[in-house]
Amino acid sequence: MSKVDRFQRIFITLLVAVSFFYGGYYFGQRGYVFQVRKNPPKVEIINKSPSSKTVDFSQFWNVWEMVSNDYLERPVDAQKMLHGAISGMVNSLGDPYTSYLPPDVNKAVNDAINGSYEGIGAELGIRDGQLIVVSPLDGSPAKEAGVRPGDRILEIEGSPTIAITLNEAVSKIRGEAGTISTLKLQRGEEEPFTVTIQRREISIASVTWEDKGDGNLYIRVSRFGGDTNKEWSKAVSEANVKMKELDTVIVDVRGNPGGYLQSAVFLADEFIVKGPILWQESALGEQTPMNAERKGVFENIPAVYVLIDEGSASASEILAAALRETVGAKIVGMKSFGKGTIQDAKNFNDGSGVHITIAKWLTPNKDWVHKKGIEPDVSVQRTEGDFENGQDTQLEKVLELAREI
């Protein structure tokens, strides 16, 4: 036996002893698994110890082995089991905004934020344990089928949604263009009804603008995605050049379910000279401001209005609250959704991702709108007749108020 072989044998023996001692203890108590390899010899720790030293992982591993070895239908899908285990862990927190997204769902969510995907075009949420439509998106099959913010989804493809998670709902409703999704909905106290929606490829600009005459600029923001800042700047630049006078800016975030926090801050900074746009509050109660930093085109606009409704959530609420509390913007429409938490998103190498609630966001006056929503200064509700006739009474009210200035 050569010296090298003798060295490797001694080394491996020591490592096996170490792994037996530590691995046996930590495998059952703290989750460590050691893997011994030769050429070159090394120990690789492939599982980490949890921060809580009292967690006993032995039951998890026992069940994993039982399922792997004894489940009737073989072979079991270990990767699917792993995703399910992580999803269960995250869902146990009871926070609908903290979620683990398997690769297919994570791709669909990221595509939706960036405005290009296949599906029905509706942002979903959980309210009081019930799956709901936060908002159908502009130009989407869902909106064309008459789906509205706040509609409760009772069934998906004939299956009840009781105790369904957001991930499961997204997986069931999303699908290839040309296929059909059937939903049973309930609106308010009305009788449940069924809608059949053909999925299609959806590509929607996040920002559009229109000259409403008499110096009134209307800007529609349908989401806060990766391209929103660029589209916003382009719209603002075009409007500033093409409009001969500019006295009023109307920002419409109705049906906008939110998106990237930084994008909401960027848009608000177009109007706000200085001071906080929002405050972030950590789990320890520490409050940190996110302040206006850039020179905005609309800092001296005489009048600003924001249109909101039940589908305005998260980043939409950040923008609406910031403009009301800092530049005196008037909010018109219906009370917003009420989402006042911030999620950190991380993507993994296998395509999956996780969204974890890490903080609260507070308005410039340090109000927390979570589960409360933002009450409009002028409440205007669109009736069934308004929707059927294509009449936008909320926007009409804003233009009426603008003419009175």
The pLDDT tens digits for 277-305 are 999 999 999 999 999 999 999 999 999 99
pLDDT band at 205 (very low <50, low <70, confident <90, very high): confident
Phi, psi of 305 (to 5 degrees): -125, 150
Q: Tell me the mean pLDDT in the region 265-279.
A: 97
Can you tell me the distance from the alpha carbon of 134 to that of 258, in angstroms, rounded to the nearest whole number?
10
Q: Tell me the mean pLDDT in the region 382-387.
A: 80
CATH 2.30.42.10 segments of the chain? 99-113+116-203
CB atoms within 10 A of CB 377: 14
pTM: 0.75
pLDDT band at 96 (very low <50, low <70, confident <90, very high): confident
Residues of the chain with pLDDT > 70, as a percent, come to: 86
Q: Tell me the mean pLDDT in the region 157-164.
A: 91
pLDDT score of 394 more than 90: yes
Give the CATH architecture of domain 99-113+116-203. Roll (2.30)
Range name among 32-46, 197-211, 318-332 with the lowest pLDDT average: 32-46
pLDDT score of 39 more than 50: no
| Residue 391: predicted pLDDT | 87
* Average pLDDT over the chain, rounded to an integer: 85
pLDDT score of 17 more than 90: no
Structure-model confidence comparison of residues 23 and 152, the more confident one: 152
Reported as a single tens digit per residue, the pLDDT across 213-259 is 999 999 999 889 889 999 999 999 999 999 989 999 999 999 898 98
| Residue 34: predicted pLDDT | 40
pLDDT score of 38 more than 50: no
CB atoms within 10 A of CB 234: 14
Can you tell me the distance from the alpha carbon of 195 to that of 182, in angstroms, rounded to the nearest whole number?
6
| Residue 2: predicted pLDDT | 53
- Grouping H, G, I as helix, E, B as strand and the rest as coil, residue 202 is strand
Q: Tell me the mean pLDDT in the region 194-203.
A: 91
pLDDT band at 10 (very low <50, low <70, confident <90, very high): very low
pLDDT score of 1 more than 90: no
Catalytic residue IDs: 314, 339, 343
pLDDT score of 11 more than 60: no
Q: Tell me the mean pLDDT in the region 398-405.
A: 90
pLDDT score of 50 more than 70: no
pLDDT score of 32 more than 60: no
| Residue 105: predicted pLDDT | 82
- Strands 193-198 and 207-211 turn out to be unpaired
Query: CA-CA distances (angstroms) from residue 379 to 70, 155, 335?
Result: 61, 32, 8
Q: Tell me the mean pLDDT in the region 143-154.
A: 92
pLDDT score of 56 more than 90: no
Q: Specify the amino acid at residue 367.
A: D
Can you tell me the distance from the alpha carbon of 323 to that of 219, in angstroms, rounded to the nearest whole number?
14
Range name among 111-120, 166-175, 309-318 with the lowest pLDDT average: 111-120
Structure-model confidence comparison of residues 28 and 173, the more confident one: 173
Is residue 188 within 8 Å of 176, Cβ to Cβ? no
Can you tell me the distance from the alpha carbon of 78 to that of 54, in angstroms, rounded to the nearest whole number?
27
| Residue 52: predicted pLDDT | 65
Query: CA-CA distances (angstroms) from residue 299 to 49, 112, 133, 249, 403?
Result: 52, 31, 35, 11, 20
Residues of the chain with pLDDT > 90, as a percent, come to: 58
| Residue 263: predicted pLDDT | 96
pLDDT score of 199 more than 90: yes
CATH dotted code for 207-404: 3.90.226.10
Angle at 187 between CA 368 and CA 193, to 5 degrees: 150
CATH 3.90.226.10 segments of the chain? 207-404
| Residue 47: predicted pLDDT | 61
CB atoms within 10 A of CB 149: 23
